[in-house]
C-alpha cells in the first residue's frame, strides 16, 4: 500500500525556526570537544592518542547512521524518525555530561554521532512541506545554522568548561536539543510514511555500515604507517569485498536500501563525485592551515598557539555560516549548476594561489575564509539540487549519501594532509619543510579543480 501526500501541509515559521534552532544546537554539541580536548585529556587522565578516539567514534557513528536515518525517514516519515533520533542524541549528550572516564564518554559520543542523521531528515521535512524554491532556501538555512553551531560550540566550550565544568559544556547544548525537539514535535505537521510493504533491507544496511567503517579505519591505519604491504593489500581487499557484497545485495532485493538506479543517475553520481573531490581538498586545507600557523616564527611560520589559531579561523567559520543562506538564494536565482561551478573555481583558484602566497597571517586568514565559503556554498547547492532532483520518496537516502560522502571526504583529506607533512618532515628540525606545505596546497587545489570535469557532465537541468 502506498500513501501519497497530494496536498502537503505548509510549515510555518515556528516549525522552520525550530528546525533551525535544532540544527544550531546540534552543531554546538558536535563542536565543544575540539577546543576542550586538552582539558578532557587532563581530567580523564588520557593521552593524545586516546583523545583522538573521541573524534573517530563520532565520525564513524555519523557515517553509519546518516544513510540509515535517511532511509527510515523516507519510509516512516521524517518527523517521527527525527524525534527518535534526537532522543538518542540527547541520551548521548547527557551520558557525555556525566562521564567519569573515557569508556563512558566514548559511549556518549557513539550516541551523539547519530546527530549527523538530522540533516537528511530535516531535508525530508522541508521537501514535503515547502515548494521547490523555498526548499532550496530552507536547506541552505538549516545547513548554515548547523555550521553556525560549530562556531558557537568553539566559542562557549572553553568558558563553560573553565567557569563551570566540562560536564556543563555537554549538558547545556543537550538541554537546547531537547527543547528544540519538543517544539519540532509539536509544530511540525505529520508526514505520513511514503510507502509500506516490503521490509527494510537490513542486510544492505549492515553491509553499507561495515563498508564505511572499514573504509575510514582502513585508510587511517594505512596512512598512519606501520602496515606491511601485505596488510595494506588485505585492508583493500576487505573494503572492496564489503562494497561488492553490498552492491550485489542491493541489486537482488525487492526494496533495496539504496536504489542503484537512482545512484547511477547523472544527477546523483555526479553530485557524489563532486562532493567527494571538494571535501578531499577541503579536508587537506583544514589540516594544513592550522599546522602552518603553529610553525615557529623563527622558521617560516607564525608561532600561533591554540587560542590564536581559533581566532584566525573565526572568519572562516562565519563565512561557512553565511554560505548556507547565500547558496540557497543563489541556487534559486541562478541554478545549482552555476553556483557549484563558481564555488569550485574559487576553491581551486584560492588553493593554487595559497601555495605561493602564505607569507603573512592575513593571507592565510582570507584564503581559509574564501575556501570555507566556497566549499560550503557548493555543498549546500549540491544538497538542495539533489533534494529536489530525486523522487520525493528518496530524498532522505539521497541527501544522506551526500552528507556521508562529505564527512568521509573531509576526514580522508585531513589524513592525507598529515601524510604529506609527515613525508616532508626534515629530520634535523623535526618540522615539515615550507615546500611541503606548498606541495600540499597544490595537490588540494588540483583535487578540487578535478570537480570541474564532473560538473561539466551535470545536466543543465540540475538547476530546478
Q: What is the DSSP string of 252-264?
A: HSSS-SS-HHHHT
Position 350 pLDDT exceeds 90: yes
CB 30 within 8 A of CB 150: yes
Q: For 242-266, how does the pLDDT look when each residue is reduced to its tens digit (9 = 90+)?
A: 889 888 887 887 777 667 777 777 7
264 and 395 Cβ atoms separated by less than 8 Å: no
pLDDT at 142 over 50: yes
Kindly report the CATH class assigned to 259-462. Answer: mainly alpha
pLDDT in tens, 23-66: 888 888 887 876 666 677 778 877 655 665 676 677 777 777 87
Q: What is the mean pLDDT of residues 440-462?
A: 79
d(CA 112, CA 52): 16
Domain 13-187 adopts which CATH fold? Growth Hormone; Chain: A; (1.20.1250)
C-alpha cell at position 174: 543537550
Largest CA distance in the chain: 71
Q: How far is the C-alpha of 27 from the C-alpha of 447, rounded, in Å?
A: 27
Question: In this predicted structure, what is the pLDDT of residue 91?
Answer: 93
pLDDT higher than threshold 60 for residue 14: yes
Residue 2: what pLDDT?
43
pLDDT of 104 strictly over 50: yes
Amino acid at each position: 500500500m502506498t500513501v501519497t501526500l497530494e496536498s502537503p501541509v505548509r510549515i510555518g515559521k515556528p516549525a522552520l525556526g525550530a528546525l533551525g534552532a535544532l540544527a544550531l544546537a546540534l552543531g554546538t554539541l558536535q563542536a565543544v570537544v575540539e577546543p576542550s580536548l586538552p582539558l578532557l585529556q587532563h581530567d580523564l587522565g588520557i593521552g593524545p592518542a586516546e583523545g583522538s578516539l573521541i573524534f573517530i567514534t563520532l565520525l564513524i557513528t555519523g557515517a553509519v547512521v546518516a544513510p540509515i536515518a535517511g532511509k527510515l525517514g523516507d519510509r516512516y516519515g521524517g518527523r517521527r524518525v527525527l524525534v527518535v533520533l534526537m532522543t538518542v542524541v540527547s541520551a548521548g549528550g547527557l551520558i557525555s555530561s556525566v562521564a567519569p572516564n573515557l569508556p563512558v564518554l566514548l559511549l556518549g559520543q557513539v550516541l551523539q554521532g547519530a546527530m549527523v542523521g538530522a540533516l537528511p531528515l530535516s531535508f525530508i521535512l522541508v521537501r514535503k512541506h515547502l515548494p521547490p524554491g523555498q526548499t532550496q532556501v530552507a536547506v541552505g538555512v538549516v545547513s548554515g545554522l548547523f555550521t553556525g553551531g560549530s562556531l558557537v560550540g568553539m566559542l562557549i566550550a572553553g568558558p563553560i568548561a573553565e567557569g563551570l565544568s566540562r560536564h556543563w559544556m555537554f549538558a547545556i547544548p543537550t538541554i537546547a536539543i531537547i527543547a528544540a525537539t519538543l517544539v519540532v514535535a509539536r509544530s511540525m505537521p505529520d508526514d505520513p510514511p511514503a510507502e509500506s510493504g516490503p521490509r527494510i533491507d537490513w542486510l544492505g544496511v549492515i553491509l553499507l555500515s561495515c563498508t564505511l567503517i572499514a573504509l575510514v579505519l582502513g585508510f587511517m591505519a594505512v596512512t598512519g604507517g606501520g602496515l606491511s604491504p601485505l596488510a595494506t593489500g588485505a585492508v583493500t581487499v576487505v573494503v572492496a569485498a564489503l562494497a561488492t557484497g553490498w552492491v550485489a545485495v542491493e541489486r537482488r532485493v525487492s526494496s533495496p536500501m539504496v536504489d542503484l538506479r537512482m545512484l547511477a543517475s547523472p544527477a546523483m553520481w555526479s553530485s557524489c563525485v563532486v562532493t567527494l573531490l571538494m571535501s578531499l581538498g577541503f579536508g587537506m586545507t583544514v589540516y594544513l592551515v592550522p599546522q602552518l600557523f603553529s610553525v615557529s616564527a623563527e622558521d617560516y611560520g607564525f608561532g600561533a598557539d591554540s587560542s590564536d589559531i581559533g581566532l584566525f579561523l573565526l572568519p572562516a567559520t562565519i563565512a561557512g555560516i553565511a554560505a548556507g543562506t547565500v547558496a540557497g538564494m543563489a541556487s534559486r536565482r541562478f541554478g545549482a549548476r552555476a553556483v557549484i561551478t563558481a564555488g569550485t573555481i574559487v576553491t581551486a583558484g584560492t588553493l593554487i594561489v595559497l601555495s605561493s602566497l602564505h607569507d603573512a597571517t592575513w593571507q592565510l586568514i582570507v584564503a581559509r575564509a574564501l575556501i570555507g565559503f566556497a566549499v560550503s556554498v557548493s555543498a549546500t547547492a549540491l544538497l538542495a539540487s539533489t533534494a529536489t532532483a530525486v523522487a520525493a520518496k528518496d530524498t532522505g537516502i539521497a541527501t544522506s549519501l551526500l552528507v556521508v560522502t562529505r564527512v568521509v571526504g573531509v576526514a580522508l583529506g585531513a589524513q592525507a594532509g598529515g601524510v604529506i607533512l609527515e613525508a616532508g618532515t626534515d629530520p634535523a628540525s623535526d618540522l615539515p619543510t615550507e615546500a611541503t606545505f606548498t606541495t600540499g596546497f597544490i595537490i588540494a587545489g588540483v583535487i578540487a579543480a578535478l570537480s570541474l570535469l564532473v560538473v561539466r557532465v551535470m545536466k543543465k537541468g540540475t538547476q530546478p
